[in-house]
Chains A and B, each alone.
Chain A
Amino acid sequence: MDFIASLQAAIESITANKLRSALTVLGIVIGVGAVIAMLAIGRGAQDSIAGSIEGIGTNLLFVMRGDSQNQVRNPQPLTMDDAAALSDVFQAPSVINVAPLLQGSATVSARGESTTTTLNGITSEHEAVRGWSVSEGEFINSSHLLGRSAVVLLGTAVADDLFGRHDGLVGETVRINGQPFRVIGILAERGTGGFSNENDTVMVPLTTAQARLLQRSTPRSVDVILVQAVDADAVPQASEQVANILRTRHRTALGADDFTIINQQDFLDTAASITGVLTIFLGGIAAISLLVGGIGIMNIMLVSVIERTREIGLRKALGARKRDILFQFLAESSLLSLIGGILGITLGWLISVGVGAIAAAANADIVPKIGIDSVLLATLFSMAVGLFFGLYPANQAANLQPVEALRYE
């Protein structure tokens, strides 16, 4: 029996019971749609998180106080002097930029408006390391740092809160924790993805913050030192050089570093593994519904075999071999599931677009991404479901004895 004829018989049987076929297909549609949508959303979340980590800068190391297990007692704070030492081209040739940071929160007010926001004490290196720039005015420079100037850069969100706009504000005065600061620039607006809104921030010279706003127990201490390597390949060497310098400076015992160096790649890897688990989890739940759809197909195929017992008997009487009958019923079940798969991909795409729109409206910048691989996976998987769950009924049909089948009422 030729392939076309089996396919034709399968199509006939599917169209003969349109409602029944539609309901059977629906199970697969929902299953495939759910798998596609879940994988797309998972991938979108992954991209969004990776994007925001990469948005921090490139080839970065984060140096923090204390070891990661909190085993070393009395870790020394990181200081401006540590940061200066890391900039030594001879001891740390793989390092191109060092940007110490002091971070806390502060209340900023102007003209009776007031807002609480993130306060960053920064140096001029942050412009290069973090890719910050100003949309008007100027960035914090070394003379501001030397002079511990009372100057501030406003993020657009803070500017909007205080002034209702974020332009033409250079020269205005705001109060940070009650102390007057002169606005020297507005930070260029950044995307709002990731963990926090980077537009909701103010920046002052690090020295000013140490002296007047974020006092720590050790006067010249900083919270984090951002270290930028010369290029991606130099990141491991830079990490090693930074570690050696700090070990010498802090006189730590062997294997008892009182600082932690985190590679930007570590962040990416951790985030990827978390979202990966999440994606597999969501996809797995969706796959269960695909399985349920497959059982629906099996059910309908069994009914179909029983209904068509006489037809099968006749076909056998006319010379159909087992594989002819097997193929006819497998064609029917895989066609059903293939139709379901194609409609399911469309449904999954619609769900993804919908979720993307909702996310965009909620300012979370997750863009669900349907990969060719997940489309292929869903198509193949649904075909496989059709074949697998069609196999038993088709086998039942193929093994019918012609006399008994013809006698069947």
Chain B
Amino acid sequence: MAERVVEARHLSKVYQMGDVEVHALRGLSLDINRGEAMAIMGPSGSGKSTLMNILGCLDRPSAGSYHLDGESVANLDDDQLADIRNRKVGFVFQTFNLLRRTSALENVELPLRYAGVGAGRRQRAIAALEAVGLGERLDHRPNELSGGQQQRVAIARALVNEPAIIMADEPTGNLDSKAGADIMKLLLKLNRQDGKTLIIVTHDSDVAEQTDRIVLIRDGQVEADRKLGRSKKIASKGK
């Protein structure tokens, strides 16, 4: 039995919009094994981003339990959640979310700074940028990089703290198909070669088909959960 990184039980999320309650998640349960590459699909408004935010500890569920990498996250305060995000989760956003006025290198250093890493910080950031093929662009600012390159910087930033899981909410949504394909290739390489657990939210079934597993979400519930045959289990590899 493979080791579970994500163990979510009966998650629900209710948004109060004035008098109306919006049920974004309705008792959703989901397990993800270490080393898995998984795609979350579903129509707009089905709750994909809401789920990702909870899995990434950016948000708390209204009800349900959640263990990330063996730790129960339910009763943690804001600062403890920040710490979990810092150590266990690497985020890749649709809109890159790089700091505009700082270099690629400094952007990648940021999670290490918040982790309190002093010695070797620069080297680790450089290594992460080299791993995404941007070893030559250390001092470039985001506005001096293409969209694809910016997303690579974001991936390097997600990698640099060696998190248990990488979460990407529509990482190719703002890129053309060529750049998007490159980013997907890079993310899958991190999964296949380095054993990183990967969760990708996408609307693109070509993207989803490249992963090991597709979870379809509708109305805040799992509608289908399909393992793709060609996944060669490498679950216990990596750390």
Contacts and interface: CB of A to CB of B under 8 A. Distances in A.
B101 A16 contact: yes
Interface string B103-144: 000000011011110100000000000000000000000000
A319 B78 contact: no
Interface in B18-59: 53, 56, 58-59
Interface residues of B, number: 26
B86 interface: yes
B231 interface: no
A30 B97 CA distance: 39
Instruction: Choose among A12, A314, A401 the residue with the greatest number of B CB atoms under 10 Å from its CB.
Output: A314
Contacts of B99: 311, 314
B21 to A, nearest CB: 18
Given A403-B53, A403-B58, A403-B59, A320 B114 contact: yes
Interface in A387-406: 401-403, 406
Contact of A402 (B58, B87, B161): B58
Interface string A181-214: 0000000000000000000000000000000000
A310 interface: yes
Contacts of B206: none
Contacts, number: 61
Contacts of B157: 318
B145 interface: no
Given A5-B113, A311-B99, A402-B58, A317 B83 contact: no
16 contacts: A1-B116, A12-B101, A16-B101, A311-B99, A314-B97, A314-B99, A317-B58, A318-B85, A318-B86, A318-B111, A318-B114, A319-B111, A321-B82, A322-B82, A324-B114, A401-B59
Interface of B: 53, 56, 58-59, 78-79, 82-83, 85-87, 91, 93, 97, 99, 101-102, 110-111, 113-116, 118, 157, 161
Interface of A: 1-2, 5, 12, 16, 310-311, 314-324, 401-403, 406
Closest 3 CB pairs of A and B: A319-B86, A319-B114, A321-B79
Given A318-B111, A402-B59, A406-B97, 17 more contacts: A1-B116, A5-B113, A12-B102, A16-B101, A310-B97, A314-B97, A316-B58, A317-B56, A317-B91, A317-B97, A318-B85, A319-B82, A319-B83, A319-B86, A323-B79, A401-B59, A406-B58
